């Protein structure tokens, strides 16, 4: 009799694990049609130091920064229900391809994704990638059925990037707002 309880417990545990593993498939189906927005960012610029021989005084000049965007791309793709569910744990936006160094400077970047749906509703995502290291940055936003509320048709996407750079001893040297993406795209009916 105890063997039957153990076997029954093992079967119940296996059934429970199977049901939990299939939750994403029950929620979204086998695959999810998602829209991915990617944008590249870089901070070009230079730092210069000049020396004056009299009294060996060193004069530092504020570094120049030229915030730029490139490679704006909106693409639709089918992803697995598991990939979509797990992508939601880190938030809808992600950052990759980081490199470079800011040194003692302070860089504050606020990225706002404003998506207007065909029914004229706005879906707004904001985040601040404070660990970006100031160059070679690619930002991605994944929009799936939860974010798009199952709507199809023509969407309008506007991405605004606010950049503020403060250099020790020089104050704020860059305070810019860029709108590198301002476009319409269509999500077809399934």
Per-residue pLDDT of the chain (190 residues; tens, 9 = 90+): 678 888 888 888 888 888 877 777 777 778 877 777 676 666 555 444 433 434 444 444 444 555 566 666 677 778 787 777 777 666 555 555 444 444 555 667 788 888 888 888 887 877 776 654 445 566 666 777 776 767 788 888 888 888 887 777 677 777 888 887 788 888 777 6
Q: What angle do CA 81, 91, 181 make, to 5 degrees?
A: 100
Q: Which residues have a Cβ under 8 Å from the Cβ of 80 and sit 6 or more positions away? A: 30, 31, 32
CA distance 79 to 74: 15
Strands (E), the chain: 31-46, 49-52, 57-60, 64-80, 93-96, 106-116, 122-127, 137-143, 153-167, 171-187
pLDDT in the model for residue 98 = 46
């Amino acid at each position: 009799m105890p063997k039957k309880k153990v076997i029954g417990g093992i079967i119940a545990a296996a059934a429970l694990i199977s049901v939990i593993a299939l939750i994403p498939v029950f929620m979204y189906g086998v695959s999810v049609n998602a829209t991915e927005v990617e944008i590249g960012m870089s901070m070009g610029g230079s730092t210069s130091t000049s020396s004056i021989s009299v009294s060996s005084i060193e004069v530092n000049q504020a570094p120049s920064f030229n915030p730029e965007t490139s490679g704006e791309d909106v693409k639709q793709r089918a992803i697995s229900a598991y990939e979509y569910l797990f992508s939601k744990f880190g938030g809808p936006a992600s950052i990759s391809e980081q490199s470079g160094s800011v040194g003692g400077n302070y860089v504050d970047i606020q990225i706002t994704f404003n998506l207007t749906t065909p029914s004229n509703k706005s879906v707004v995502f904001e985040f601040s990638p404070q660990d970006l290291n100031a160059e070679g940055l690619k930002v991605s936003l994944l929009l799936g059925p939860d974010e798009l509320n199952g709507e199809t048709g023509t969407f309008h996407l506007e991405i605004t990037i606010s950049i503020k750079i403060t250099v020790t001893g020089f104050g704020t040297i860059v305070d810019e707002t860029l709108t590198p993406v301002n476009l319409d795209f269509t999500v077809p009916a399934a």
